[in-house]
Structure 1
Amino acid sequence: MYNLIYTMPFTNVDGEALTVQILEDGGTGSPVELTGGTPPFIVDVNDEDFLYTPTRFSGATLKLVGSDYLQKLFSTQYQKFKVNLVKAGSVIWTGFITPELYSQDYDNSLFELEIECISALSTLEYIDFKQEGATVSLLGIIKKCITESKGDFRAVYIPNVYTSSLDGITVSTANFIDEDGKAMTLKECLEEVCKFLNWTVTEYDGCIYFIDMDYIKAGKTSYTNILTSTTTTLSSTINLRDIPSKGNSNLLSILGGYNKAIVIDSDYEVDSDILYPELELNLSGGELFKFEKTKDDTIYKKEYYNSNLELFNYVLSNNSYTTYDKPFNTDKQSAGAVAMRKTSYGKTEALSKYSWQEMIEIKQKSAIILDNSAPYYLYKDIYHNGEEIKNDPFILNYPAIKCKGNELSYLVFDPDIKLCINFDIYLTTDKDGFEGDFKPTGLTSVPKLFIPMQLRIGDHYYNGSSWVTDSNTIFKVSTTATPNNYVNTWLQVYNYNDPELNVPDLNGYIVSFKSITTGDIELTIYNPAINPYSTPVFENPIESFFIRNIEISTQRVNASKSDSTKQDTKYENVVNEGFINALDDIEFKITSKNESELSYSKAMDGNSILDVLTNNIDNNSEKPEKLLIQRIINQYKQPKIKLVQVIKPDILPYSKVTDSYLSGKQFVFTGGRINYEDNSIECNLIELN
C-alpha cells in the first residue's frame, strides 16, 4: 500500500492550486511539505510524428528547492515511489520516480534538485508478462497492464470501433514467452494489442485513452470506460484561434508522405520440441540401476535414470499386473517403462568416451517372475485365446509413456494442418534386455504388432479418424515390420502419408483435423502388443520393447518445410512505384488467419481463427494487417502539415482541431510538453487526411 510521504503545493499563473504528491510503497508516517523549484513540474508526452505509433507515454521532471538531498527517494525499484499531480481533488498525472536518476546544483547549501519520473504505463517496460492461464483476451491484456502499472487513473477509455468484443478475441499466453522461457514485457504485450487494433494508447489528464485516428476523423464519439464498463461520448472540436496563446514558439512544417507500407506477421511457430520434448535423462541425479554383460567379445552396458517423461511401472499381484511407483524393487526391474541409455563396444577397442544411445525400455514382466507363461507378460494380456481383446478399456490398463505438453501451451489446429507421430521401436527376447538376441523361428509372415496410443488436444481425443470427447478413446499404430525386417533392427512407424494429403515432409502416423481443434496436447503410448499365438510361434517370449526418437511434427497442406528458414506472412501496398518512400516495416506478433505453420500467435474469435475485423468507421470487414496498411496509405499518400503551438492545455487526445488560417484542415494532438506552473502546453498537432 502506498502512503503519502511528501507534498509539494504550487499555484499556476491563473491562480489554480496544484499539489505534487510523493507516495512510498510500504511507507509510514505523516507527509512532509517540500518547496517547488521553477518550474516545479513539467510533463513531456511522446511526440512521435507517426500517427499509428502503438504507445504514446510520458515522463516528468520534478524540481525541488532545499538543503536535503532526499536520498530516500532513490530506489532500485521502478514502482517504489509514486508521484501524483493533483488538481481540484483529481489526479491529472500519475507515475513513478525513475530509479537513481537525479541531479542538483552543488555550489550552495540551498540547491535545486531535479527528479526524473516516468508515467505509470511506462513502468510496464520493466514488468514481465506472466502466464496465468492457457489463453488471454485482448481486453484481458489491457486490464492486466492497467493493474500492473499501479497508476491512479480516473478512467480508461477504448473506442467502440469493432463489432467483435475485445473480451472475446483471445490468444495463447505461450505467444508471449519465447523458446528460452523469457517473457515479453507488459509494454511489449500492450504494443502488440494496439498494433493489432490499429490504436495508440496514451495517458493524459489522469486518464488512459486508446486512440483510433480514423475513428476520430470520421466523427465517431462512442467510447467505453472499462473501469466502470459504461459507454460514454467523448467529443471535442477545437479551433486554435479560440484558445489563448501562451507563447510565440509557433511553427508550421511539412511532413513527407509514404507510398509503401509493409506489415509482417511474425508468427511464433510451434516446433516439434514443444509438441513432444526430446528425452532427457536426469544424469545428475545418479543412475537408478546399471547393468553390464559380455558376450562374443562385446561389452554391453545399460544405465537407468529418471527422466522428463511420465513412465508407468507394474508388479504382479494375484496373477495380474497393478501399477507400481518404482521401476526397480530390491534391484529387480519391475514390468513397465524406464528411461535408460545403453552402449556396446569390443573388448579390444580403445575408447576415449562411450557412445550412448538414449531410449525407453518397456519391460514385459517383472524380473522376479521366472516362468514364461501368460499372464505374466504384459503384451500377452492384450490377447485371449489367440484373439485380440476388442474392448479398448482393457488396453488402457497398461499405459507406458505419457508426455503432457505445458498446460499453458494453448495450440490451435485448423483443417489445413496435419499432425504426424513417429518413433523407432525394437523387440528383444533377451532376458537382460540387450539388442541382437531376438531369435524367432523362421518367419514367413509377420506376427501382428501394433502400438496403442492416445492423443488428446484440449478435451478432445483422436479415434483414428475423427476427434471425440470420450476419454477412453485410443488408436493403434502399425510399424514397418516385414518378414525380412523384423529382428535385430529398429522398426519405424508405418508411413501413413499419402500424396493426396499434400504434406510431403511428414513421415509416420498422420492425424487430420476436420474442424478447429484447440488446447494443450498430450500423447500416451500404451504397452505395445504382439500376438503370442501367431504362426510361426516365437521360440521365446518378448522380454522388452525399446522405443526411441519419439516425435510429433506438423505441416500445413501445400507448404514445404524443406527450407528451415521461417517464412513470415507479408502484407504490402505500394502507390506510384516510380518513386518509393517506404515506411519502416511494422511487425505483428498477434496475427490473423494466414498460411503460417502451427502457431501460438493466432487470434481467436470464439472457436474460430480470427480472419477479419468489422469496423464501425466504414462498416467494412478487413484483416487487421491489411486495414493498417490501408489506413497508412490513406493518411500518408500526400505530405502532412505539422503545427507546433504553445497554448493553454485545453486540447485532449480525442480532440479534432481546426485552424481558421488553414481552411479545411483537421489536426490531432500528438504529444508535447506541459508546463503546469505556466498552465501551458507546447503541443504537436498533425494533420488528418
Structure 2
Amino acid sequence: MGYQLIYNSSFKDIDENTINIEIYRDSGGTLIASELLCSADAVSINYESDDDVFKPIKCSDCQINVLTTKVLANLYTALGNQIYCTISKNGSLLWCGYSVPCLYSTDYNEEYNLLSLQFNDILSSLSNYNYTYLNEKQSIVSFYQVIKHIISQIDSNGLIKNVYVHNAKKINDTTDLLNNLFILDRNFFDEANEAENCKDVLEYITRYLGMTCYYYGDSIYFVDYDIIKNINSYTKYTLSDDSNTVVTLDNTIINVNQNIYESNASIAIGELYNKVVVVANSNSNNTIIPEWNDEDDIINQNADANKYYESTRDISGKNYTLLNAFFKSKNNWWWAIPSILAVPIEEVTPQNADSNGSYWQKAAYYETANEPSSLNWKTYFTISDYGLMGWKTTDGVQLSLKNKLPIAVKGGTFIIDINYRLSGDWNAAECIVTSDEQYYDGKYSTGFTDTMFKCKLAIGDTMYYDGDGWVNYQEYHNKVARNYYKICNGPNTWAGATWYKYLDEYGYWRFVTKGEYDSISGREKYSGGYADRNYVYSYTNSSNERVFIEKWFYDECKLQDCFYLVHKNKVGDKVFDTDYSLTNTVSWRMNLAESEDGVAVSLPSDKMTLGELTFELYAPNQLGTTPMRRTDKEPVRCNSFHINDVKLKYTTSDYVKDIFNDETYDEDLKFENVIDENIVNDFDDIEFRINTYNEHAGSYSYVLTKVGDEYYFVDTLTDGVSKDKLKAEEHCINKYVNYYSKPRFRYSNSIKNRDISLNSILKENTLNKNFVINSITYDLMNNKCDVELNEIR
C-alpha cells in the first residue's frame, strides 16, 4: 500500500501563518488518519552547530510536541524510514524528515500527556543506508548520478525536487560541476567490498566541492560560505527530468538589529589554530580482480554446503585417505563447465571428474593409519583434459571475469601471476604422485617447450595487450575483416617444406602457395625453409591446398587478440607434481609500489587507460599432451593443471623516494599550511576521500572529467572569485587558512523569522560584521529563530 497518512495537525503562528503537520507510515494495510493536538511549543526545527565553519554536511532535526490521552502505537517503529513527517508553511513544504527508530517516551496517566516526537532530516537519515552500485556493478558515474541515487535510496515519494549547487567553482569553463565531475563508484567500498553509508558518500562529494550541504524545503543545497557574499548564482538541478539551469538566490543582507525577537545576545571569539592539514586519503586500486578463491563467492556445487567425498588410495607404498569437494563461483567468475563426450556435467563427483573442462575443488588428505585431529583443506582451480583416445580436447577460455571491472588509470603496471602444477590425475591432493622420473631434458628427447597460458587482457573495445605492447582494437578488427587470420596447425613433421610470403597493400605478410608466389610481381616477397623438419606449420587455403607458414604467423593466428603468460622450463626441472609460477619479468629497476614477482604489463604513460577490464585464461599448452617425450622413459600425459593462485594487481611507478633509506611516497598525500607557529592548537586533519590524481599511488578516489568522448583526471578547479586554478585540496586549505588566520566573531540571539535560511547573510550593526548561520532553531509557533552566527569575510 505504501506510505499512508496516519496523523495530521494544523495551527496558526503568532503572525497568522498556517502551519500544517502530516505524519505518514509505510504500511501494508489501510490506515485511518487522526488529528493530533499540539502543545504550546508545538514545533521546533534545529540545524546543528559545529566548530568547523565549513563543515561538509549540516543536518537538522525536528521535535513535534503533542498532547494525548492515548498511546500512539502507530508512532512506534524499529525501522529507519517507516514513518516520516512533513511540515508546511502557508502551503509550501518547509521541512520533512524520518522518525527516530524506537524513540517513544512520555509520562502516562489518565489526563493529557505530553509526547515529544523526534524526526531527523533526509541527510541525517542517510547514515542508515549503505551505498549501492548504480548499475549493479562498478562503473564510472557523475557526481549528479551519485547524489540522485543516494536521494532515491530514502526518498521514495519524491519529496526532494531539486539540488542547488553554488557556482563557486568551474571545471572545463562551466559551473555545471555535478555533470562534469566523475568518479569510479568502487571508491565507496572498502578493500573487502563493504559499502560506505550514503551520508558519508555525500560528505565526500561535498568536501571535494569545497561546500556545505544542507536540506531545506523541497531541495538540497550546496553552498560555499567563503564566497557567499560574492556570488549568488546557483546551478539548479531538477531531479524529475535531470535538467539544470542557472538561477539566482536572494542573498540580501538581513539586519539582525532590526529583527530582534527578544534580546539575549552574546558574542564570542572563535578558536585560533596553529596549522591546517588536508589529507587526501586514497582508496587503493591495487587489487584489480576479485580473489579467485573468495570464500564468499566459491560455494559448494551441491545443495549441501558441507558435501564432500571420501576415498582411499595406495601411493608410494602407503595408504592415504583422500577427501574432495567440488565448488563453483557464485558471482565473480565464469568457467568452462566440464563435459564428457561433449555432454556437460551437472555435478562433478570423483566418478566423473576425469572430464574435459574446469572446476574448483577443495582437497585434503592424510595417511590412513594416522588420522589427524583436523583437516587442512586447500583450494584449487582444476583444468582437466581426458580426451578420447588421448587426443587433446580441452581448449578455449577456462576462466574469465563475469563482471568486467572499470579501469581508470594513467601509466602504471599490471602484475600477473599464476601458481600451478601439472598432474596426471584430476585429484589435486598433494600426496598424489604422477611421475618421479619425468624431468625436462634435451639429451634424451626431441626437446621441450615452455609452459604457456593463453590470456586475453583488454580494456573495453579500445585496446588489447599482445605480449609486446598495447594495440588499438581497430587493428584487430581490420585484420579480421581482411581475412588475415587463418586456422593453422602444427607442429608437424614434413621433410623439404618451404614457405612463401609477400607484403600486401595493407602492410600484412601473406603466406601463399608456390604458384601464387611466382605469379606476384612488384611486391616485396620472400621464401624459406625450416631448421627442424619436426616443427613445420601450415594452413589449408580455400582451394584445399596446404600453405606452409612461419612459426610467428602460427602464433599470431593462434593468439589473435591474446598473448602468452609464460613459465620458462629449464633442464632438470621436474615436470609433474611440482608447484611453479610464471617466469618473473618484474625488476627492482621499475621502481614499483608493492612490487612482487610476476609478469609485468606496462600501461600507456602518455594517456589515460579507461574502460572495462577483460581478463580471460585459456587452457595451457601442455594440458592434454605429453610435456616431455623422452626416449629413455615411458611418456606420461598431462591430464590436469591444478591452479592454487591467480593474481592480477595494479601498481604505480616512481614509488621509491630514497633508494638508500627505503623511503617511499605516501599513498595519502598531505597538504599543510602553518598559520601561526606560536599557537599550539592544531586544527583537526581534514580528510578528502575523493581527491586529485596522484602519480605515486593507484586509487579509485581520483576525480575525472570528460571532454568530448575522452575522460581525463581532474587536476585543478577554477575559483569563481579569484579565478585561481588550484587542486581541490589546495582550495580547501587556502579557505581554512584565510578564515582562521585572524580572530572571528560568533554572535547569538533570538530574532524574528524573516524567511531566514542557511543561505542567508546577516549583519550586526554594533560589530559591523556580516555573518552566516552556524546553528539555527526555528520556533514555528512564535515564528522566531534562535541563531548562532559565524562571521564571514
Residue matched to 1:677: 781
CA contact (8 A) 2:629 2:635 kept: no
Residue matched to 1:20: 21
Q: Following superposition of structure 1 onto structure 2, how do residues 167-186 of structure 1 map, counting pairs within 5 Å?
A: 167-186=179-198
Residue matched to 1:656: 761
Residue matched to 2:244: 229
Alpha-carbon offset, residue 210 of structure 1 = 1.3
CA contact (8 A) 2:134 2:149 kept: no
Q: Following superposition of structure 1 onto structure 2, how do residues 513-552 of structure 1 map, counting pairs within 5 Å?
A: 513-514=603-604, 515-530=607-622, 539-552=635-648
Residue matched to 2:324: 303
**Greater CA deviation, 536-545 or 639-648?**
536-545
Residue matched to 2:727: 623
CA contact (8 A) 2:448 2:627 kept: no
Q: For 2:79 and 2:364, locate their aligned partners in 1 and report how far apart those are by CA, in whole Å.
A: 53
- Structure 1 gaps, min length 5: 380-396
Q: Following superposition of structure 1 onto structure 2, how do residues 12-411 of structure 1 map, counting pairs within 5 Å?
A: 12-26=13-27, 28=30, 31-106=33-108, 109-133=111-135, 134-135=138-139, 136-150=141-155, 152-153=159-160, 155-164=162-171, 165-227=177-239, 229-241=244-256, 243-270=258-285, 272=287, 274-278=289-293, 282=299, 285=305, 292-299=312-319, 301=322, 303-308=324-329, 309-313=333-337, 331=352, 333-342=354-363, 351-366=372-387, 369=388, 371-372=389-390, 376-378=391-393, 397-404=395-402, 406-407=403-404, 409-411=405-407
CA offsets, 1:328-378, max 9 Å, x none? 696361123333345566676564445454323332323xx3x44xxx124
SS of match in other structure, 1:246: strand
Alpha-carbon offset, residue 298 of structure 1 = 3.5
CA contact (8 A) 1:412 1:519 kept: yes
The one-letter amino acid of 2:720's match is: N
Q: For 1:556 and 1:273, locate their aligned partners in 2 and report how far apart those are by CA, in whole Å.
A: 13
Alpha-carbon offset, residue 483 of structure 1 = 0.6
Residue matched to 2:716: 612
Q: For 2:22 and 2:67, locate their aligned partners in 1 and report how far apart those are by CA, in whole Å.
A: 15
CA offsets, 1:269-295, max 9 Å, x none? 245484443365646646676664323
SS of match in other structure, 1:627: helix
CA contact (8 A) 1:220 1:617 kept: no
Q: For 1:616 and 1:424, locate their aligned partners in 2 and report how far apart those are by CA, in whole Å.
A: 55
SS of match in other structure, 2:53: coil
CA contact (8 A) 1:259 1:637 kept: no
The one-letter amino acid of 1:496's match is: T
CA contact (8 A) 1:480 1:491 kept: no
**Greater CA deviation, 25-34 or 5-14?**
25-34
Alpha-carbon offset, residue 437 of structure 1 = 0.4
The one-letter amino acid of 1:549's match is: D
CA contact (8 A) 2:9 2:37 kept: yes
- Whether 2:418 is the aligned partner of 1:418: answer no
Residue matched to 1:382: none
Q: For 1:39 and 1:198, locate their aligned partners in 2 and report how far apart those are by CA, in whole Å.
A: 37
**Greater CA deviation, 125-134 or 431-440?**
431-440
Structure 1 residues 527, 442: CA separation in 2 closer, same or farther (over 3 Å shift)? closer
Structure 1 residues 363, 242: CA separation in 2 closer, same or farther (over 3 Å shift)? same
Residue matched to 2:435: 437
**Greater CA deviation, 258-267 or 563-572?**
563-572
Residue matched to 1:481: 569
CA contact (8 A) 1:463 1:473 kept: yes
Structure 1 residues 525, 225: CA separation in 2 closer, same or farther (over 3 Å shift)? closer
Alpha-carbon offset, residue 102 of structure 1 = 3.8
Residue matched to 1:466: 470
Structure 1 residues 276, 456: CA separation in 2 closer, same or farther (over 3 Å shift)? farther
CA contact (8 A) 1:173 1:410 kept: no
Alpha-carbon offset, residue 542 of structure 1 = 2.8
**Greater CA deviation, 631-640 or 422-431?**
422-431
The one-letter amino acid of 1:13's match is: I
CA contact (8 A) 1:446 1:482 kept: no
Structure 1 residues 208, 302: CA separation in 2 closer, same or farther (over 3 Å shift)? closer
CA contact (8 A) 1:91 1:153 kept: no
The one-letter amino acid of 1:334's match is: S
Aligned length: 659
The normalised TM-score by structure 1 is 0.86
Structure 1 residues 463, 275: CA separation in 2 closer, same or farther (over 3 Å shift)? farther
1:585 to 685, 698, 701: 685
Structure 1 residues 102, 249: CA separation in 2 closer, same or farther (over 3 Å shift)? farther
Alpha-carbon offset, residue 422 of structure 1 = 0.9
Alpha-carbon offset, residue 655 of structure 1 = 2.5
CA contact (8 A) 2:318 2:367 kept: yes
Residue matched to 2:598: 508
Alpha-carbon offset, residue 525 of structure 1 = 1.7
Alpha-carbon offset, residue 546 of structure 1 = 2.8
**Greater CA deviation, 55-64 or 286-295?**
286-295
Structure 1 residues 575, 53: CA separation in 2 closer, same or farther (over 3 Å shift)? same
Alpha-carbon offset, residue 529 of structure 1 = 1.1
Q: For 2:337 and 2:94, locate their aligned partners in 1 and report how far apart those are by CA, in whole Å.
A: 65
The one-letter amino acid of 1:267's match is: S
CA offsets, 1:530-574, max 9 Å, x none? 486988668333333332222222321132699999852222211
- Structure 2 gaps, min length 5: 172-176, 478-559
Q: For 2:701 and 2:786, locate their aligned partners in 1 and report how far apart those are by CA, in whole Å.
A: 40
Structure 1 residues 205, 132: CA separation in 2 closer, same or farther (over 3 Å shift)? closer
**Greater CA deviation, 183-192 or 113-122?**
113-122
Q: For 1:123 and 1:322, locate their aligned partners in 2 and report how far apart those are by CA, in whole Å.
A: 54
CA contact (8 A) 1:313 1:334 kept: no
Q: For 1:197 and 1:212, locate their aligned partners in 2 and report how far apart those are by CA, in whole Å.
A: 9
Alpha-carbon offset, residue 629 of structure 1 = 0.9
**Greater CA deviation, 323-332 or 138-147?**
323-332
Q: For 2:308 and 2:33, locate their aligned partners in 1 and report how far apart those are by CA, in whole Å.
A: 64
Structure 1 residues 564, 490: CA separation in 2 closer, same or farther (over 3 Å shift)? farther
Q: For 1:208 and 1:351, locate their aligned partners in 2 and report how far apart those are by CA, in whole Å.
A: 63
**Greater CA deviation, 302-311 or 133-142?**
302-311
Structure 1 residues 637, 335: CA separation in 2 closer, same or farther (over 3 Å shift)? same
Alpha-carbon offset, residue 435 of structure 1 = 3.6
SS of match in other structure, 2:571: coil
**Greater CA deviation, 455-464 or 125-134?**
455-464
CA contact (8 A) 2:396 2:619 kept: yes
Q: For 1:82 and 1:554, locate their aligned partners in 2 and report how far apart those are by CA, in whole Å.
A: 46
Q: For 2:113 and 2:743, locate their aligned partners in 1 and report how far apart those are by CA, in whole Å.
A: 47
Query: Identity of counterpart residues, as a percentage?
Result: 22
SS of match in other structure, 1:450: strand
The one-letter amino acid of 1:400's match is: Q
The one-letter amino acid of 2:635's match is: E
Structure 1 residues 232, 479: CA separation in 2 closer, same or farther (over 3 Å shift)? same
Alpha-carbon offset, residue 249 of structure 1 = 0.9
Q: For 2:47 and 2:117, locate their aligned partners in 1 and report how far apart those are by CA, in whole Å.
A: 17
